[in-house]
Structure 1
Amino acid sequence: MTTSPAPATSPAPATGGVGPLLRRWRERRRVSQLDLALTADSSARHISYIENGRSRPSQEMVLKLAEHLDVPLRERNALLLAAGYAPVFRESSFHDPDDPGMAAVRAALEGVLRGHEPCPAVVLDAGHDVLAANSGMAALLDGIPERLLRPPLNLIRIALHPQGLAPRIANLGQVRRHLLERVERHLAIWGSEPLRRLYAEVSSYPGAEDGDPDAVEAHPSAAAVALPVRLRTAHGELAFISTIATFNTPLDVAVSELAIEHFLPADAATADIVRRTFPVTRAVPVTGAVPVTRA
Structure 2
Amino acid sequence: MTRPGRPVGELLRDWRRTRGLSQLDLSIEAGVSARHLSFVETGRSRPSPDLILRLAEHLGMPLAERNTVLLAGGYAPAYPRHELADPELAPVRAAVRRILDGHHPFPALLVDQHWHLVDANPAVALFTSDAPPHLLTEPINVLRLSLHPDGLAPRILNLPEWRAHLLNRLHRQALAANDPVLLDLHEELRGYPDPGPAPEPVSDALSRVLIPLRYRHNDQELSFVSTTTLFGTPRDVTVSGLAVEAFLPADRSTTEALHTLAASRPGRGGGDGGG
Shorter-chain-normalised TM-score: which range?
A: over 0.9
CA distance in 2: counterparts of 1:207 and 1:155, whole angstroms = 19
CA separation of 1:226/1:278 partners in 2, compared to 1, >3 Å: closer, same or farther? farther
Answering whether residue 238 of structure 2 is matched by residue 254 of structure 1, we say: yes
Q: CA deviation at 1:218?
A: 3.7
Q: Which portions of structure 1, spanning 4 or more consecutive aligned residues, are displaced by more than 4 angstroms?
A: 283-286
CA distance in 2: counterparts of 1:146 and 1:283, whole angstroms = 23
CA separation of 1:179/1:281 partners in 2, compared to 1, >3 Å: closer, same or farther? farther
CA contact (8 A) 2:16 2:59 kept: yes
Structure 1 SS opposite 2:119: strand
Q: Which residue of 1 aligns with 2:256?
A: 272
Q: Which residue of 1 aligns with 2:216?
A: 232
CA contact (8 A) 2:30 2:58 kept: yes
Q: CA deviation at 1:204?
A: 0.8
Q: Which residue of 1 aligns with 2:267?
A: 282
Structure 2 SS opposite 1:80: helix
Render the CA deviation track for 1:242-283: whole Å, top value 9, x for unaligned: 111111111100001111111111112111111222357925
Answering whether residue 176 of structure 2 is matched by residue 204 of structure 1, we say: no
Amino acid across the alignment from 1:282: G
Structure 1 SS opposite 2:17: helix
CA distance in 1: counterparts of 2:89 and 2:160, whole angstroms = 38
Answering whether residue 64 of structure 2 is matched by residue 74 of structure 1, we say: yes
CA distance in 2: counterparts of 1:136 and 1:207, whole angstroms = 29
Worse-superposed segment, 201-210 or 244-253: 201-210
Answering whether residue 24 of structure 2 is matched by residue 31 of structure 1, we say: no
Amino acid across the alignment from 1:127: H
Match of 1:169 among 153, 156, 160: 156
Render the CA deviation track for 1:173-204: whole Å, top value 9, x for unaligned: 00111111111011112122221221121111
Taking structure 1 as the reference length, the TM-score comes to 0.87
CA distance in 1: counterparts of 2:204 and 2:71, whole angstroms = 51
Q: CA deviation at 1:161?
A: 0.5
Q: State the Cα RMSD in Å.
A: 1.9
Render the CA deviation track for 1:16-70: whole Å, top value 9, x for unaligned: 3111111111111112211211121111111111111111100100000001111
Structure 1 SS opposite 2:267: coil
CA distance in 2: counterparts of 1:218 and 1:43, whole angstroms = 51
Structure 1, gaps ≥5 residues long: 1-9
Which structure has more relative contact order (CA 8 Å, sep 6+)? It is 1
Match of 2:145 among 130, 147, 158: 158
> Structure 1 or 2: larger helix share?
2
Count matched residues.
271
Match of 1:111 among 78, 98, 118: 98
The equivalences for 1:12-91 within 5 A come to 12-91=2-81
Amino acid across the alignment from 2:211: L
CA contact (8 A) 2:106 2:247 kept: yes
CA separation of 1:162/1:45 partners in 2, compared to 1, >3 Å: closer, same or farther? same
Worse-superposed segment, 25-34 or 61-70: 25-34
CA distance in 2: counterparts of 1:149 and 1:218, whole angstroms = 33
Q: CA deviation at 1:221?
A: 3.0
CA distance in 2: counterparts of 1:172 and 1:149, whole angstroms = 21
Answering whether residue 247 of structure 2 is matched by residue 291 of structure 1, we say: no
CA distance in 2: counterparts of 1:21 and 1:226, whole angstroms = 38
CA contact (8 A) 1:235 1:273 kept: no
Structure 2 SS opposite 1:278: helix
Answering whether residue 178 of structure 2 is matched by residue 191 of structure 1, we say: yes
